[in-house]
């Protein structure tokens, strides 16, 4: 799984507003549909079905909603920071303010094994990002998270030309 190709800076959203986990999944489906040209209803149905199997809240304020999407040929992802933390029923009971969304085609079901590794990496990354982030600058926190998750260092949260890739919702 090549995360820099799956979660691109232009698919990063800050200040995403949703009152509940289920409404967040709807928002995620809408954003993914626009970004990846897939029907939002198909994405939402798959995300909800996966969430009903067990929570995608992995702890440390991070959720990793993921699902196989019919009609999607390559793995794609989004990175979101919610305007307020949401209860994703993580084992540590810490509400999630960051969501790493991973969507795979039906032909990429084998990628789910890699998702499990991403879960562990994201939890560790989340701990370090929060520990080193100063203040409540969402762009900086999300940039550091994206950089550590993907290894991409070119996009920066400050500066007009480079920050346009990260979108405020």
User: Tokens in use for 67?
Assistant: 């699902």
| Residue-range domains of the chain with CATH | 3-168 (3.40.930.10)
DSSP state of 169: -
Question: What does the mean pLDDT of the chain come to?
Answer: 77
Whether 95 and 86 have beta carbons less than 8 Å apart is answered as yes
Whether residue 157 is predicted with pLDDT greater than 50 in this model: the reply is no
Q: 36-48: per-residue pLDDT in tens?
A: 999 999 999 999 9
For residue 69, give the nearest of 80, 78, 58, 57 by alpha carbon: 78
Q: Cα–Cα distances in Å, from 88 out to 62, 71, 103?
A: 9, 27, 18
User: 163: how many CB neighbours lie within 10 A of its CB?
Assistant: 16
SS3 71: coil
Calpha distance 91→97 (Å, rounded) = 15
11, 66, 119, 146: which one is catalytic? 66
* Verdict on whether the full-model pTM lies above 0.85: no
Q: 66-119: per-residue pLDDT in tens?
A: 998 988 888 888 988 899 999 999 999 999 998 989 898 877 766 655 655 665
Residue 119 annotated in active site: no
Q: Cα–Cα distances in Å, from 31 out to 76, 89, 135, 138, 152?
A: 12, 23, 27, 19, 22
């Amino acid at each position: 799984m090549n995360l820099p190709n799956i979660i691109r800076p232009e698919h990063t959203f800050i200040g995403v507003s949703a009152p509940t986990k289920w409404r967040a999944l709807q928002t995620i489906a809408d954003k993914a549909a626009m970004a990846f040209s897939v029907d939002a209803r198909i994405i939402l149905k798959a995300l909800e079905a996966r969430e009903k199997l067990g929570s995608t809240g992995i702890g440390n304020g991070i959720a990793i909603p993921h699902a196989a999407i019919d009609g999607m040929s390559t793995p794609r992802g989004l990175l979101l920071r919610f305007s307020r933390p949401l209860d994703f029923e993580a084992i540590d009971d810490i509400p999630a303010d960051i969501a790493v969304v991973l969507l795979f085609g039906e032909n990429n079901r084998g990628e789910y094994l890699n998702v499990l590794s991403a879960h562990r990496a994201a939890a560790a990354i989340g701990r370090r990002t929060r520990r080193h982030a100063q203040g409540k600058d969402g762009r900086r926190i999300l940039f550091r998270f994206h950089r550590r998750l993907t290894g991409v260092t070119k996009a920066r949260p400050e500066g007009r030309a480079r920050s346009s890739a990260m979108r405020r919702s």
